[in-house]
Chains A and B, each alone.
Chain A
Amino acid sequence: MSELLANLALGFGVAAQPYNMLFCLLGALVGTLVGVLPGIGTVATIAMLLPITFGLPPVGALIMLAGIYYGAQYGGSTTSILVNIPGEATSVVTALDGHQMARQGRAGAALSIAAIGSFFAGCVATVLVAALGAPLTGLALLFGPAEYFSLMVLGLIFAVVLAKGSVLKAVAVILLGLLLSMVGSDLETGAGRMTFDIAELADGIGFANIAMGVFGFAEIIRNLELPEESRDVLHAKVSGLMPTRKDLIDSSGAIVRGTILGSLLGILPGGGAVIASFAAYTFEKKMSKTPQRFGNGAIEGVAAPESANNAAAQTSFIPLLTLGIPPNAVMALMVGAMTIHGIVPGPQVMTKQPELFWGMIASMWLGNLMLVVINLPLVGVWVTLLRVPYRLLFPSIIVFCCIGIYSINNSPFDVVISAVFGVIGYWLVKHDFEPAPMLLGFVLGPLMEENLRRAMLIARGDWMVFFTRPISAGLLGVAILLLIVSTLPKIRRRRDEVFVE
């Protein structure tokens, strides 16, 4: 316990340095902005801003990128409530009750409950990350190559089960991502693999290029097909920001339950903020004695998902920081960011760079505090920003992305690659393939291959090693069980329901 406090003190010492505070604020603000504007996702933004963080010190860069992620959860709720346009997939359910509340003149209460819920969840999740960090890192030391491989298989299976749509298609997309990660020189022998004799492919395909293509360009192309939504910005003045005592009592249970559910779903690989917010809303509706109020402005319907998405956004750092395994696409980008700064994510980060590890955790709490303070007064600014029409927004994003990709290696070829992945991403969506598992497969690919190779070498070519080592066998057992359970018709129907609601 005292060790935990000492670590947190170290972390706050790092996070409270003026520069790091500034990066934290900057990240939180950019995140909120992204959350407010529909049509730009968190993944694309982090990919876009990767080049900008090159020049920063690693701690500052990671603090800022983390800020973008949880900041977006705040921003998304603002527009969901005021305009009924969720800026972020995580806030889709918030719009259901939040916007109804706004129409009834209770926008202030909805906004402040969303902020309070998010802040509470942020506090709990920060403590959780700090508390689970050390024991999980200890666990990681027990892991050999076989265990790592099995853990990654489990992570990918989780991603499959929690992705929407067909399980089989998600597996196929993951395999595609794994294959893409193998393009380029082989790590051990240096042999060029699947490069089609293109010199630029010898170093492999850049992670940022794929992310930008699939999540940036492909999304823009998709959005252009939809008619521009009319954004009837609510002109009514937001008054009475403070929630009443009754609001607080009504929502306190929902906030706590949302936080717990969100924290759990965030840690699980493949989960993350989107699923957490959906699950929390559904759960709250099921729990309620008066489910008919949901959809008509129930304050619990705002409190639960907003707490859950924020909690999940933060706890999804746990597997990344302790085991070095990214549980979702945003964390996969964080791996990219860390690698660029020469940090190998995993258990050694905590022991070798404690100031980075604890500084980042402490910054999350500070960032949440900043968001509560700045978010409510800035509501007006965000709503004004929504008036920028998409027809001007999307070419700006394209130019920004192009310059960003080019700046990573000063290579025009990288820009071409991302355009190719823009087309691939568009095709995938047209055929109901989820692009996120592909990115996860791409990031985990090199790690999986390396551990698979090592495990096989140590076991003298015996495939049974994955089943004879107890931890590995357990992990694979869970993975197989999950896969079987998720294909059972009854569960599948449930799963579809969750995504429809």
Chain B
Amino acid sequence: MSESVSPSPKGRGFIFSIRSPRDFWGGLVLIAVGILAIWASRDLPGQRGFAFGPGTAPRLFSGLLVGFSAVVALGGLIMDGPRIEKYKVRGPVLVIFAILGFAAMIRPLGMVPASFVTFMVAILGSKEMRVLESFVAAAVMTAFCVLLFVYLLNLPFQLWPRF
């Protein structure tokens, strides 16, 4: 690993301190996912005789996931590891917002407005965006997609909002 290993400060009052936060928190979250999966498949019938029920494999694999994740989390208490990189807000939020926006717009508004707006929202996620250039690029990209998907590939997309 090239990242510098900077162990977290030792916590007081605990027997263990979190020495590798990436592993520790990563493991904990996956344990939660495993438990959620076990809970979600609680009503499914399990093994009957020799035959697996629909619930057997999900419970089997979520149990294994909980087990392995627990070892990963424990490892985070024993072995030193790098800190968690800071989560950025602007890029991820705007990119995800743009994608969700596309999902919300494509049916009611049609492909042209949805593509254009998605492009403009996504580009805000970059610190280097320039206004005029972005508008031109969004228009070009929208035109390209319409040409490719609607005219060349003949996909039945609605282009504009219907009133």
Contacts and interface: CB of A to CB of B under 8 A. Distances in A.
A151 to B, nearest CB: 18
B145 A461 contact: no
Interface string A418-438: 110011001100111100000
Nearest to B100: A419
Q: Is the interface of B mostly helix, strand, loop or mixed?
A: helix
B103 interface: yes
A459 to B, nearest CB: 8
Contacts of A172: 27, 30, 65, 68-69, 72
Interface in B79-103: 81-82, 84-85, 87-88, 91-92, 95-96, 98-100, 102-103
Interface string A164-191: 0010110110011011001000101101
Given A168-B75, A179-B65, A182-B61, A398 B119 contact: yes
Interface stretch (A79-87, A296-304, A367-375, A407-415): A407-415
B49 A461 contact: yes
B137 A224 contact: no
B17 interface: no
Given A55-B153, A169-B72, A179 B95 contact: no
B154 interface: yes
B78 to A, nearest CB: 12
B149 A188 contact: no
Contacts of B5: none
Nearest to B140: A396
Counting contact residues on chain B (CB < 8 A from A), the size range is 35 or more
A416 B105 CA distance: 12
Most chain A CB within a 10 A radius of its CB, from B2, B25, B99, B104: B99
Contacts of B111: 403
A423 B92 contact: yes
Most chain B CB within a 10 A radius of its CB, from A55, A196, A225, A228: A225
Nearest to B53: A189
A423 B115 CA distance: 21
A163 to B, nearest CB: 14
Nearest to A416: B103
Nearest to A423: B96
Given A182-B58, A426-B92, A457 B68 contact: no
Counting contact residues on chain A (CB < 8 A from B), the size range is 35 or more
Contacts of B92: 221, 224, 423, 426
B45 to A, nearest CB: 8
B50 A460 contact: yes
B128 A391 contact: yes
A175 B68 CA distance: 9
Interface in B50-81: 50-58, 61-62, 64-65, 68-69, 71-72, 75, 81
Nearest to B137: A392
Interface of B: 1-2, 22-23, 25-27, 29-30, 33-34, 37, 40-41, 44-45, 47, 49-58, 61-62, 64-65, 68-69, 71-72, 75, 81-82, 84-85, 87-88, 91-92, 95-96, 98-100, 102-104, 106-107, 111, 114-115, 118-120, 122-123, 125-126, 128-129, 133-134, 137-138, 141-142, 145, 148-149, 153-155, 157
Given A418-B99, A453-B52, 7 more contacts: A169-B23, A390-B126, A396-B141, A402-B103, A431-B23, A459-B50, A496-B1
20 contacts: A166-B75, A168-B75, A169-B26, A172-B69, A179-B37, A179-B62, A191-B44, A191-B45, A193-B41, A389-B128, A392-B134, A398-B119, A399-B142, A403-B145, A406-B103, A419-B96, A422-B95, A431-B25, A431-B84, A453-B51
